[in-house]
Amino acid sequence: PAGIPVEPVNEDDPGLYDDLSLAEHNAVRVYMESRETLALTPWDEAGFSDNYINSIELHVPVKSEALAFLDGGGDKPERQALVTVHAGGKTPPVVEEYVVGPLPNPARHAPYSNPARRSPIPWTSRAIDAKEYALIFPIIENATAAVHDILKESYGYTYHNCSGHCLVDIDTVPKGYRSGQRRSWVLFHRGGVGGVTYFVGFMIQITHESVDPSEWHVSRVYYNKQYFDSVEQLITGYADGSVEKDTPHADIQDDEILYPTFVRRGKPQPASPSRGPTLTEPGGRRYAVRGRHVEFMGWSFDWRLTTSQSMQLYDVRMNGERIAYELSSQEATSFYSGYNPGMLNNLFVDSYWDVGRSFELVRGIDCPKTATFFNTLQQRSTKEPRLMQNAVCVFELNAGIPLRRHFDSDFAGGFNFYGGMADHVLVLRHINTVYNYDYVYDYIFHQNGVIEVRVGLTGFILTSQDKNSYGYPLYGGNIGNIHQHAFNYKVDLDILGAQNRFETVDIVLENITDPQRPDLRHIQTRIQRNLRRTEREAAVQYDFNRPKYYNFYNEEETNRFAVNRGYRVQLNGIAKTLLPRQDWAPMRGVAWQDYQLAVTRRKESEPSSSSIYNQNDLYEPLVDFQTFIDDDENIVDEDLVAWVTLSTHHIPHSEDFPTTATAGTQMQFFLRPFNYYDEDPSVGSSNAVLITPGERSGSVRVERFGTPTGPACVSEQSPFRYNGTWRGPH
C-alpha cells in the first residue's frame, strides 16, 4: 500500500511559514525593480556599483500575530518578503533590507529596522557576490599569469589559462583583522575530484576595501612560507635565487589522483557485489505531508528552508499541544588553526556562504529509498530563484532498537510477560554542502515525545602546507589542519503557553546522618531545583563536575502527580571553545559558542543568534549574541528561548579520506519531556507488542493491538532519479 498521499503546497493558501513560491518571488522582484525611488538595476544588467537585489526570501510573521491566528482565531498575518539590496550605487554604498508586502501582490515596502542590530549594515560586512567576484577575478588572473612559470615549476599546477593540472581559487574569511577592513587571502587548491583536499603553498592577498574597484590590488603574496609585498617581488627573488623554491610533490603529479576520490578501490566489500538491507513500508506511508506541514503519530510541525540559516521548524506540537514555537538552525562555524595565511584566516561562519546550499539528495544513500523528497526555491546572488530539487527529505525510520521493552521473568524458568515496541521515528533531513564540507542535519521525532536534533559531519577536509603542530601529515606533503566545528540552534520552547520558567535540576552531594543508624554518616546524591531568574544566571558554561538537568516548565501547569510540566534539554555533543572572547577579537561575532546553552527572553528584535554579516565583521558584528544576555532580563514566567551549541574539535587523520565519515562525528541534543505527560505518550501505539504465557506450557499469546502481521510482499522498487542541477525553475 502506498499509504497516506502527499499533498503539494497550496500556493493559493500557503501556510504561515511556507517559503515563497516562484510567483511570489517574481512578484516581489518586479515590484521592487519598479520602484523608481529605489533605483534598482535588474540583476543581469547590474554591476558592482549599481543598486541591485541580492536576495529574496520569506519574512516570517511576528510571533504574536502568528499565535493570534493559530490559537486565537485572529486574522491570518499578511505574507511578506525580506529583500536584501546591495546598494553599490549609493554614497557611501550600503546593504539595505526591505520588508515587502502583502503577498502575492506587493503594494508596499519599508526598511527592515531592528534596534538590536547595527544600522546601517556596513558595506564591508556584506557577503561577497558575483558582482564583486567579477572584479576580483581579473586581479587573480593577472597575478597568476605573472607567476605561471613559478606555479608550474613549484607544483605542476597552474591557474591562468590552464588545462589539465589546474588550480582553483577560494577566498578566506574574515576579510581583515579589524572591523571595516576588506582584504581577502586567495588560496589555490587542485582542480579535479577531491582537489579541495590539496592546497598549494602560494597565496595572494587582495585588498578590495575601497568603494572604487580600480583601487583594488594585490597587497601581499605568500609563497613557500615566505612573504612578499607584491607579485613582482616574488618573481624577482625567484629569478635571482633569493627565494627558497617549492618543489612538486610526487603524490599530486597525476591528474587522476585516486586518493581523494570516491572511486572504489582496495579489497572488495562484499566479496561480490550485493545489495544491503533496505527499508520497506509494508504499511505504506504513515506520515502525512501537506505542503510544508508534516504529521506523524501525534507530532506535527511546519518547516521552511532558508537560504542563509537552512532549516527552521515552526509550531512543533505533540498531540495538539505546542512544544516549541520555533526550532531552527542558526549558524555553523568552523575555525581553523595553522601557520600559513590561509589557515590563519579561515574562520568560517557558514551562513555567509552563498555556497552553503542544500543540494539534491540521493535516494537510498542520503535518505532511505522510502523517503519523501521536497524541492525548495532559493534566491541569492542570482537573477531568479534556484530550484533545488529533492533538497529535503522526510521518512519514517525503523531505528533498529527497541524504544522500550521489558522481559518480566518469573525467576523460575518462565516469564510473566514481555512488552516492547520498536523505535519508529520520523526524520526530517537536509544536507548542507558548504564548499568542501557536508553537514547532515536531522530532526528526529520519537514516539515517546522526544525530539532529537542531530548534525553529522562528512565531506572533504581542508589541508595545507603547514607545521605538524596543527595537524597530521596527509598526502602531497600537506597536513589536515585542526579546527573546531560549532552549530547553534534556536529552540523557542513554549510549554503550554509562552510564559515559562527555566531551572537547573542539580545533582548534588549530601553527607547526612544515616537515618537508620545515627552513629553512621551516609553520603549520597540528591536533587536541588534551582530556578534561574535572569539571563546571566541562565547562561550555561558546561561543568562536567556539576551534573544537572536543564528544565523548561510551566509554573501554572502540572501533571497528574502535581509536578510542573516541562521539557528538558539534554546535550550530547558539546565541546569547549578554548578561544578566549575577551582576548581574541573575532570571537565577539560568535559569542554563542561560549555557551553550551543560553536562555533569553524572546524578542522579535533577536530573531537569530547570528547573521550573514557577522562573517566579515566578527569584530563589531551585526548580531552580537552577548547583548541578548547582557541586559540580564528577568526570565521567570516569560517567553523563553533556548540557544543550544553543539560542537566538536576535529583533528583530521588519514581516515578522513576520501571524506570525513558520520560514524562517530554525530552531535545531538534532545528535547525530552520531563514530567510533561502523565506517562510515555507512546503507550497509545498499536505497534507495541505484549506477549504473555499461553494456556499450554511453552505457548504464548501475542497481542499486537490490531496491527496486521504475516507475509507481505513488498516491492523494493522505488524510482531512482537524479539530476544534480540547481538552475532556474523553468
Per CB under 8 A, 683 contacts a second copy = yes
Among candidate residues 98, 112, 287, 437, the one labeled active-site is 437
* Minimal distance, residue 323 CB to Ca ion, in Å: 10
Residues 52-111 that bind a second copy (CB under 8 A): none
Among 631, 678, 679, 703, binds Ca ion (CB under 5 A): 631
- Give me the 223-252 binding string for a second copy, x by CB under 8 A, dash otherwise: ----x-------------------------
**Residue 241 or residue 270: which is nearer to a second copy going by CB?**
270
The residues in 593-622 that bind Ca ion, with binding defined as CB under 5 A, are 600
According to CB under 8 A, which one of 341, 589, 607, 621 is a site residue for a second copy?
A: 341
Q: Considering only CA atoms, which of 172, 317, 260, 218 is closest in space to residue 671?
A: 317
Say how far apart CA 38 and CA 110 lie, in whole Å. Answer: 11
Q: Angle, nearest 10°, between helix axes 231-240 and 130-146? A: 20
- How far is the C-alpha of 497 from the C-alpha of 327, rounded, in Å? 16
- Is residue 638 at the binding interface for Ca ion, with CB under 5 A as the rule? no
Query: By rule CB under 5 A, what string of x and - marks binding of each residue 555-574 to Ca ion?
Result: --------------------
Q: How far is residue 367's CA from residue 704's CA, in Å, rounded to a whole number?
A: 29
47 touches a second copy by CB under 8 A: no
Q: Contact, 622 vs 121, CB < 8 A? A: yes
Q: Is 344 in the site for a second copy (CB under 8 A)?
A: yes
Residue position matching grid coordinates 554525530: 666
CA–CA separation, 456 and 444 (whole Å)? 13
Interaction between residue 494 and Ca ion (CB under 5 A): yes
| C-beta of 146 vs 288, nearer to a second copy | 288
Is 526 a binding residue for a second copy by CB under 8 A? The answer is: yes
Cα(109)–Cα(80) distance, rounded to whole angstroms?
9
Residue pair 483/352 in contact (Cβ under 8 Å)? The answer is no
Q: What is the CA radius of gyration of the chain?
A: 28
**Which is nearest to 383 in space by CA: 55, 705, 164, 707?**
55
631 binds, among a second copy, Ca ion, Cu ion, none (CB under 5 to 8 A by kind): Ca ion
Residue 546, judged by CB atoms within 10 A of its CB (0-12, 13-18, 19+), counts as exposed
**What is the grid cell recorded at 284?**
505504506
198 has catalytic annotation: no
Q: Is 350 a catalytic residue?
A: yes
Window 546 to 565, contacts with a second copy (CB under 8 A): 546-547, 549, 559-563
Backbone φ, ψ for residue 508 (5° rounding)? -120, 160
Asked if 447 interacts with a second copy (CB under 8 A), we say: yes
Check binding of 262 to a second copy (CB under 8 A). yes
Q: Is 649 in the site for a second copy (CB under 8 A)?
A: yes
Q: Choose the binding region for Ca ion from 22-30, 52-60, 352-360, 624-632 (rule: CB under 5 A).
A: 624-632
Cell of 648: 566538536
Tell whether residue 116 is a contact of a second copy (CB under 8 A): no
Q: Which does 700 bind (CB under 5 to 8 A by kind): Ca ion, Cu ion, a second copy, none?
A: a second copy
Distance (Å, rounded) from C-alpha 616 to C-alpha 174? 5
Question: Which of residues 375 and 433 has its CB atom nearest to a second copy in the complex?
Answer: 433
Q: Which of residues 526-555 bind Ca ion (CB under 5 A)?
A: 535
**Which member of 18, 350, 617, 656 is catalytic?**
350
* Contact in structure between 574 and 542 (CB atoms under 8 Å): yes
In this complex, which beta carbon is closest to Cu ion, that of residue 501 or of residue 650? 650
Q: Which residues bind Cu ion (CB under 5 A)?
A: 650
Q: Is residue 278 at the binding interface for a second copy, with CB under 8 A as the rule?
A: yes
CA distance 723 to 375: 12
Number of residues counted as binding a second copy (CB under 8 A): 211
Q: Is the previous residue joined to 104 through a cis bond, with omega within 30 degrees of 0?
A: yes
Distance, in Å, from the CA atom of 439 to the CA atom of 360, rounded to the nearest integer, reads 13
170 within 8 A of 189, measured Cβ to Cβ: yes
Q: Which residues bind Ca ion (CB under 5 A)?
A: 492, 494, 535, 600, 628, 631, 633, 639-640
User: Catalytic residue numbers?
Assistant: 350, 437
